[in-house]
Structure 1
Amino acid sequence: MTTAPHIPWTFARLASLPLAWRRRGLRALVTGRRLLAKEVGDGFAATFESVLRLPRREALRLSREAVLHDVASEIEWCALHKRPIAAIRRDIDRVRVADPAVMERVASTGRPVILAPLHMGAYVLGLAALMLRYFPGRPMLVLRQRDDMAMETEVIERLREVDVDVRFLTVSQRADFLSAVRFAQKGAVIVVFCDLDPSYGAPAEMPMFGLPFRFAFGTDTLARLTGATVVPIATTMDDRGDTVGLGQPFEVRASAPEERAHVAGIMRRHIQAAISGRPEQWHLWPMLADYLPSSATVQDISPAGGEAPHDLAA
């Protein structure tokens, strides 16, 4: 994201409201005026139908929810960018951690930690809540491969104003990767998104939903070099607040292929469970083709049937 989200004036006004008010207001606005349904047609319905094996009616419902969620996510970026710090703190208070005991155990060791979120929900609020509650005083280092996302950078940097010492590291060469190792060994909590497409490097086979998905997976090497515990996470949004769900924490003790396959399996199960649980909130459905080989197709299994396969890697 290189510029501020372009959203209608009404939605921008919603961004100035408290979290629950703006989300309920958006839902009421969309439901009452049907603003979005006219713009997107079936949206992601065909994809949900084919990939998730859903009946047409449920796929259409989820597609409408996905469109609503996309706008709600833009409003959340705008809210983080514009709202007063005290208001952002109140929004963070509405974040619930699904299994706080697990995060408490991980944090209590004082060892390096890697948080591995998906691009789901209002993930910035989720990260802020985790840092403030479980890792106070420790810096957060966000790894990325490019630094042209001006709006995202500005929003995440605002976390410094709520006492989260956030830093960015653009990793494009081996020396950059070693810098991340040093940061972790000095106490930084490293953030590496677990649902990046294979072009980001070190791809691993993670078949899901009967399809040959592949994800970038350098997290295992980083965990092995730092001795860090990896905690897969996924933040989901609701009208009243957010929930940070935790996957199975793991460590990487060796570089053997079987070890890599084992931890890739843990990550695969986390990604599939998160997407299956709230498919309308995964931000990367439009890039689905990037995760599949060029030969991959998904057969349309809608009740009507009889249509040609969808080539998702075209």
Structure 2
Amino acid sequence: MEPISGISRKAALIAGLPLPLRRLALRTVFRVYAAVGRSPRSGLADRFERVLRLPRREARRLDREAAFHDALAELEWLALLTRSRAAIQRDLAHVVTQSPEVLRRIAASGEPVILAPLHMGPYVIGLLSILVTFFPGRSVLILRRRDDRPLETRVMERITEFGMPVRFLTVTDRAGYLPAIRYARRGAVIVVFADLPPRYGKPAPMPIFGLPTAFAFGIDSLAHLTGATVVPLAIGAEAGGALVVPRYPFAVQANDAHERGRVADLMRRHIETTIRERPEQWHFWPSLQEYLAAEDPLMPIERAA
């Protein structure tokens, strides 16, 4: 494996460990820093306190945990990039899916399906577990941001090592949209992140936590054009692994304003519920102002809350 720019030898060493051991190693590092009064922080305590309406002490605890989970997510990207296929397969044994019968039933139909996770926790290993366990051999279409890092693309490309052809579509690539739709109609598994800021697509008002937030929203038209069932996913880190929770699946019946509003409300509830369950694991808290830009570019988060 070629050297990876910006990755320390210590991080690479920890990433090479089996999943439970690397989680323990990372937690130990954070505890050592805390013991010497140098706890890493994410700088989000004020935001947690005001947006989530938490006591100051709890907001500061979440701030420390957010720093841990940001580091954990980076560690999991690195592990998926550097560990062997066999080692990754062993790591997947530590990912638990709640209500697996939901995904088994949808997979058995052979029809297209849209998996809609958030950028939370170790979402990549959670997604990989779902694909390998429930959709082996199926084609995969991943909608990605135009500014995804090359490292992230290299990790996603490793899905092909598990026998699944992968195709990428940048969310702003209009020329590639119709060919991707035709590809997806042939029974593909489509991965669409539900929590992208409005600049990545046609925004829809989807208020969360009492804030006038908007999100990039195209899952309604994508589901309608492909005939895919939408499965909102919550993926969270646990002490020794990860937990994947499929929310209630739904289909999109029409391409009109009423149906768009219905689907937007379903996704809004998915986003808010998932973040509220594990607020320290959502990676887009620092970008929250972007979600308000469509409503009021000058509205500070603290005043809005």
Please tell me whether residue 207 in structure 1 is matched to residue 207 in structure 2: yes
CA contact (8 A) 1:119 1:195 kept: yes
Query: What percent of counterpart residues are identical?
Result: 51
Distance between the aligned counterparts of 2:238 and 2:284, measured in 1? Answer: 19
Measure how far apart 1:287 and its partner are.
0.8
SS in 1 for 2:38: helix
CA contact (8 A) 1:99 1:246 kept: yes
Measure how far apart 1:4 and its partner are.
4.9
Aligned to 2:100: 100
SS in 2 for 1:230: strand
Letter in 2 for 1:23: R
Distance between the aligned counterparts of 1:10 and 1:173, measured in 2? Answer: 38
Distance between the aligned counterparts of 2:31 and 2:249, measured in 1? Answer: 39
Distance between the aligned counterparts of 2:222 and 2:198, measured in 1? Answer: 17
Please tell me whether residue 146 in structure 1 is matched to residue 149 in structure 2: no
SS in 2 for 1:175: coil
Distance between the aligned counterparts of 1:148 and 1:174, measured in 2? Answer: 17
In the TM superposition, 1:248-263 aligns within 5 A as 248-263=248-263
Please tell me whether residue 66 in structure 1 is matched to residue 66 in structure 2: yes
In the TM superposition, 1:122-137 aligns within 5 A as 122-137=122-137
Aligned to 1:297: 300
Cα distance 1:267–1:35, how it changes in 2: closer, same or farther (>3 A)? farther
Moved more, 145-154 or 175-184: 145-154
Cα distance 1:147–1:71, how it changes in 2: closer, same or farther (>3 A)? closer
Gaps of 5+ in 1: 300-308
Cα deviation digits, residues 151-202 of structure 1 (max 9, x gap): 0011111122233322212343433221221111111111111100001111
Aligned to 2:188: 188
CA contact (8 A) 2:120 2:282 kept: yes
Aligned to 2:52: 52
In the TM superposition, 1:67-86 aligns within 5 A as 67-86=67-86
Distance between the aligned counterparts of 2:154 and 2:174, measured in 1? Answer: 26
Cα distance 1:49–1:5, how it changes in 2: closer, same or farther (>3 A)? farther
Moved more, 219-228 or 142-151: 142-151
CA contact (8 A) 2:41 2:66 kept: no
Cα deviation digits, residues 206-238 of structure 1 (max 9, x gap): 111110010001010011111110111121112
Cα distance 1:31–1:228, how it changes in 2: closer, same or farther (>3 A)? same
Q: Provide the alpha-carbon RMSD of the alignment.
A: 2.1
CA contact (8 A) 1:128 1:164 kept: no
Aligned to 2:230: 230
Q: Report the TM-score when normalising by structure 2.
A: 0.92
Gaps of 5+ in 2: none
Distance between the aligned counterparts of 1:162 and 1:123, measured in 2? Answer: 18
Letter in 2 for 1:33: Y
Measure how far apart 1:145 and its partner are.
4.3
Distance between the aligned counterparts of 2:226 and 2:104, measured in 1? Answer: 20
Cα deviation digits, residues 12-45 of structure 1 (max 9, x gap): 2111111001101111121123289737557211
Q: How many residues align?
A: 300
Letter in 1 for 2:190: I
Letter in 2 for 1:91: D
Moved more, 270-279 or 181-190: 181-190
Measure how far apart 1:133 and its partner are.
1.4
Distance between the aligned counterparts of 1:63 and 1:275, measured in 2? Answer: 14
CA contact (8 A) 1:206 1:268 kept: yes
Letter in 1 for 2:31: T
SS in 1 for 2:176: helix
Distance between the aligned counterparts of 1:153 and 1:41, measured in 2? Answer: 28
SS in 2 for 1:13: helix
CA contact (8 A) 2:172 2:200 kept: no
SS in 2 for 1:142: strand
Distance between the aligned counterparts of 1:163 and 1:139, measured in 2? Answer: 9
Distance between the aligned counterparts of 2:37 and 2:189, measured in 1? Answer: 41
Cα distance 1:91–1:157, how it changes in 2: closer, same or farther (>3 A)? same
Please tell me whether residue 247 in structure 1 is matched to residue 247 in structure 2: yes
Q: Report the TM-score when normalising by structure 1.
A: 0.89
Measure how far apart 1:284 and its partner are.
0.8
Aligned to 2:197: 197
Moved more, 193-202 or 142-151: 142-151
